[in-house]
Amino acid sequence: MKLKNLLASAAIMAVSVYATASSAADEAAAKFREDFLSGQLSWSDVEARAKTEGEVNWFHWGGSEKLNAWIERNVVPALAAKGITLKTTRIAGTRDAVDLVLADKQSGKGVGEGSVDAIWLNGDNFYTLVQQDALFGSFADKVPNAENFFFDPADPASQLNLSDFGTPTEAREMPWSGEQYTCYIDTNRLSKSEAPRDFEGLEAWVKENPGRFTYVKPPHYIGNTFVQTALYAFGGGYEPFQKSITEFTPEEFAKLVEPGFNYLRRIEPYLLGGEKAIYPQNQAANQALYNNGEVDMACEFGLYFVSNQIESGAFSETTETLAFPESGMIKNKNFLAIPSNAPNPAAAIVFANVMAEVDLQISKLKEIGYPLGVDMAKLSEDDQARAVAAAPKHHGVTDAELAALAVADTNASLVKVIETIWGDYIERKVEMPFLQIVKGAMEKAAK
Amino acid sequence: MRRLSLTGKLLLSFILLMIVGPFIPLGISSVAFRWGWPDLLPSIWWWEKRDQVYTPLAWDYILDPVSRIIPAMGNTLLIAGAVTLISLALAIPAARVLGRQAFKGKSVMELFFASPLIVPEIATGIGIYLIFTQTGLQGTLIAIILSHLVPVLPYLIRVLTGIYSEMDESLLDQATLLGAGPLQRFIHVEFPLILPGVMAAALFAILISTNIFLLTFYMGQGQVETLATILFSKLSGGGSLDPVSAGLTLIVALPGILFLMFTHRLIREEVFAGGTSRG
Amino acid sequence: MVHHKGHGRGWGRLIGLLPAVSLLTVLFLGALGFSVAQSLGYAPQYGVMSFPTNIYYVSLFKDPGFWQSLGLTFYYAITPTLIGLMISIGLSLLLAHKFPGKGAALFIYKIPMVVPYLVGVALVLILFANGGIFARILFALDIIDRPSDFPRLLQTAEGWGIMLVYLWKQVPFMTVVLYAHLLVLSREPEESALLLGANRVQILWHVTLPRLIPAIVSSSLIVFAFNFGAFEVPYILGAGYPNTLTVEAWRLFDDPDYTNRPKAMAIVTLVSVISGLCLLVYLSLYRAYERKRGRV
């Protein structure tokens, strides 16, 4: 047994020596970062360095076969033309990539030394990187294709580019795609005229047809967004939810969200499963419920989601998008962020620029139905016409209807609080006054 | 041995049907395009649509480089091969000692080697992951291979110890009497004696390694894909099975079925029982 | 068995055992050590440095959710072990007969043993979902009108889906162990019991089963221990909440808030300890039974 003790301590010693021996920072990369961010480098300098770096490691959600195929066929060759090999890591959740960046950072890896060059993200994942000071810097407004975006804070059209779930982007991430939270129905089972138009209508309809609706369970972002949409409807629209949590007292916040949460509690007995309501874990489970005819209506992000699903055979041809609710459908953009410890920072910047190219954006819209990340009004008339022609067909709604109802998403600092309240008040039905629950959730988030 | 009655035959056929029957809808699903409620067969098949859409469908996707299933298969086999070789290299010397010698503390040693087989994978898995994050090894093939050694090595030691303890020692003694050195004795006498057992154990080691999910998932950190991790990410949503998931499930089942074809006439039932004790 | 003890073995023994022992010491004991240390508050990498503390264990014991999860973990582990055992005894007895196509049957029934649990998960999803094959068959037979009329078997706390996967995977395993045991048993006691006028149920209950006890114990023990610590099956097919301890541990470990990790480690430590204790109790019960029968 003594031998074993000896071995164990030897192993632990070896481990700790290895862990503390952090390498010296990559000075060339650090200098590049400083020079680029202060505007001292020309674009050809960046491209030249990107070529010597030779590769870029992009981490993206890999759950869509369409997207994966589109990337291999379009993005890989576009970067190869610039002398850069695109290595993509398909992750199940964006959090995995954020974790990796933070773990690298904790072990003292700086610019040029980490393992992630770019992440496709938005919302709380971006917020986490901002809070941990783990972003490369304001690059998105310094690349040639920045001209495809509104970045001027004075211009209200810039809002979606400058604010990501209420967190100022400060051009630390490149807008890449856009989304809107939509609901869809099967017109074979629920006619358009009977379909709810707002949350009151939804309540009346589920009471008539118990068990024919449910929503994805928070803290999954699809579920969070449904809850936020309901809170908007009963809390005076999206404006109050743009503020940060630090601007609320628990009493004020409880007053703002209580009507919405009471609504969610009121409809719960009429959701799928009745008394023991069933909330699917994620969009795949939600789609299965819809597809198997267990629910007649379901909601998730995706302006062209319905046409994509019909095209791939997943949904029946009788599926239509619903302009629900009239109180406001959350719309946002998603982005490409570069971490502060990107191993190939120049290649990452070139990659972000390529992704913002009009041709690639139009091909993304046309082939896989991912909405434009670039701003339509910034494009030439020619390109605008091409983009309009490329857009997949909507089923049951028009672009104008959807655009008229679009509202901003919730401030990222509120998201965590809202999901905690949902867990306590709706899922676990904690026996506490609502204000107590809100206080607890706010304390937990402040920790 | 008595003959089986008619009821017995029916009962047995029913159980066997429950075991293999589910693979039939799985196979159908893998070539479906649209198979919605309440159809008993797909309303649109994969081959009717395969030329009309942008993204490769079903088997086209699985076999397309985009799906990365072929490299994942390569990783799976590479990991299994390395794990098996390293485990054998470590297990044979240990089993020689445990199977042929009696010494103080032997039972402690045996308990030590058996304990990784009892502790749940999630407990060892998180711990190993923490060790590797300290050394920066997480997310590499090496980390996965090392982590697979924890369940595979104790299993091999147990099986090989059994083989050594049943070995006819007089043959070794004769070799010594004839003047063979330790190395010659090992190569020409001992190794041929244990070879059949080693082969069987190695096959089981490969099977165990290819079927491990949780350790691979932890250590690989999404950066090393194997068949098991790809299938997990396809299934973990818990939604309905799409054609790609169905096809992938068939591929993941393939190594085990091939293994069974190779071994089911060669390996005695009781060895089999020991070999697959850990799923 | 006579062992050779000549050879001055001290060094040889050391050299033989050292590589395997040191590898498992680092990776296995080291891993467990890390887990236990973190569960006691040693986690400087997440800014938790309250070693030694029992707050993580205390907070678990105070949480009714923990006890609920523990109950479910036991329930999902024991139920399929018992049901599976009954089916396996029947199946192994059937296989011990002579019948046409026996070679194929011996091949087919082993298939679930050699494929990963995830394959079982996929099969259960396709068969037992509310819009799955069985629901469609019932619809075609006019027994149900819509998918929600089909009993909800997946992703609920009742855990039918989880247990179905365990049964599918483990009945073959237990059968192999029992069948292998039956093969080496002689038929004499059964035949003399038959001569003495016992009926088949009596023979099964009083003669065959007692002789199968060692195989029953070893196979059910392995199956129970596996089920108790299993992760991916309850993760995919269990309820979002409550679920097994392993899934709860995973959630805590995966939480963006790293300060939850020590609590996750407390859960996995408890899972290991509880499953070890169960095995000990089970084994000592078995020993007591054997002693009573005067075998040992």
Strands A85-91 and A118-121: unpaired
Measured between beta carbons, the chain B residues lying within 8 angstroms of C35 are: 123, 126-127, 130
Orientation angle between helical segments A412-421 and A434-446, nearest 10 degrees: 130
What is the structure's pLDDT at B100? 86
Answer yes or no: is pLDDT of A213 > 70: yes
User: How many CB pairs (< 8 A) connect B and C?
Assistant: 290
Residue pair A122/A335 in contact by the 8 Å Cβ criterion: yes
| DSSP class per residue in B230-269 | HHHHHHTT--PPPHHHHHHHHHHHHHHHHHHHHHTTTS-H
What residues make up the domain containing B154?
65-275
Question: Average pLDDT for residues A151-178, to the nearest whole number?
Answer: 91
| DSSP class per residue in B6-66 | HHHHHHHHHHHHHHHTTHHHHHHHHTEEE--TT-SS-SEEHHHHTTTSSS--HHHHHHSGG
Q: Is the residue at B95 inside a domain?
A: yes
- A291 and B36: CB-CB below 8 Å? yes
Q: How confident is the model at residue C251 (pLDDT cuts 50, 70, 90)?
A: confident
What is the structure's pLDDT at A295? 92
DSSP structure class, residue B278: T
Give Dmax over CA atoms of chain B in angstroms: 78
Give ipTM to 2 decimals: 0.89
What is the structure's pLDDT at A346? 96
Residue predicted with more confidence, C200 or B74:
B74
Least confident stretch, A252-256, A279-283, B227-231: A279-283
Q: Is the residue at B263 inside a domain?
A: yes
Q: For residues B77 and A137, what is the distance between their CA atoms, to the nearest angstrom?
A: 42
Say if B260 is an interface residue toward chain C (CB within 8 Å): yes
Say if B8 is an interface residue toward chain A (CB within 8 Å): no
What is the structure's pLDDT at A238? 92
- B34 and A293: CB-CB below 8 Å? no
Work out how many domains chain B is built from and give that number.
Answer: 1
Give how far A431 is from chain B: nearest CA, Å: 31
**Domains annotated on chain C, with CATH:** 1-39 (no CATH), 54-292 (1.10.3720.10)
Q: Which two tokens stand for residue B36?
A: 């919605």
Give the nearest chain B residue to C252 (CA atoms): B126
DSSP structure class, residue C22: H
Q: Is the residue at B265 inside a domain?
A: yes
* Residue ranges of chain B whose pLDDT lies below 70: 1, 266-279
> Model confidence over C91-117: pLDDT tens digits?
999 998 889 998 899 999 999 988 999
The CATH number for B124's domain is: 1.10.3720.10
Q: How confident is the model at residue A20 (pLDDT cuts 50, 70, 90)?
A: very low
What is the structure's pLDDT at A22? 40
Mutate: best of A294, A315, A429, partner C, most C CBs <10 A: A294
Q: What share of chain A is helix, strand, coil (3-state, %, to 5)?
A: 50, 15, 35
Q: Which residues contact A290 (CB under 8 A, 6 or more apart)?
A: A184, A186, A296, A297, A298, A315
Helix (H, G, I), strand (E, B) or coil at C18: helix
**Domains annotated on chain A, with CATH:** 28-178+332-397 (3.40.190.10), 191-295+411-446 (no CATH)
Least confident stretch, A105-109, A226-230, B187-191: A105-109
Alpha helices in A156-304 (DSSP H): 159-162, 199-208, 221-234, 250-267, 283-291
Residue A60: its H or E element: strand A55-61
Answer yes or no: is pLDDT of C295 > 70: no
Say if B96 is an interface residue toward chain C (CB within 8 Å): yes
Average pLDDT over all residues of chain A = 90
Answer yes or no: is pLDDT of C20 > 90: yes
Q: Is the residue at B124 inside a domain?
A: yes
| DSSP class per residue in B66-114 | GG-HHHHHHHHHHHHHHHHHHHHHHHHHHHHHHHH---TTHHHHHHHHH
Q: Give the A window 349-368 contacts with B, CB below 8 Å.
A: 367-368
What is the structure's pLDDT at B37? 84
Per residue in B9-38, is it b (16+ CB within 10 Å) or e — as a string?
beebeebbebbeebbebbebbbbbbbbbbb
Q: Is the residue at B57 inside a domain?
A: no
Say if B11 is an interface residue toward chain C (CB within 8 Å): yes
- C35 and B213: CB-CB below 8 Å? no
Q: For residues A356 and A75, what is the distance between their CA atoms, to the nearest angstrom?
A: 11
Q: Is the residue at B69 inside a domain?
A: yes
What is the structure's pLDDT at C263? 92
Q: How confident is the model at residue A25 (pLDDT cuts 50, 70, 90)?
A: low
Residue C225: its H or E element: helix C209-229
Q: Is the residue at B41 inside a domain?
A: no
Q: Which two tokens stand for residue A121?
A: 């993200």
Q: For residues A447 and A416, what is the distance between their CA atoms, to the nearest angstrom?
A: 12
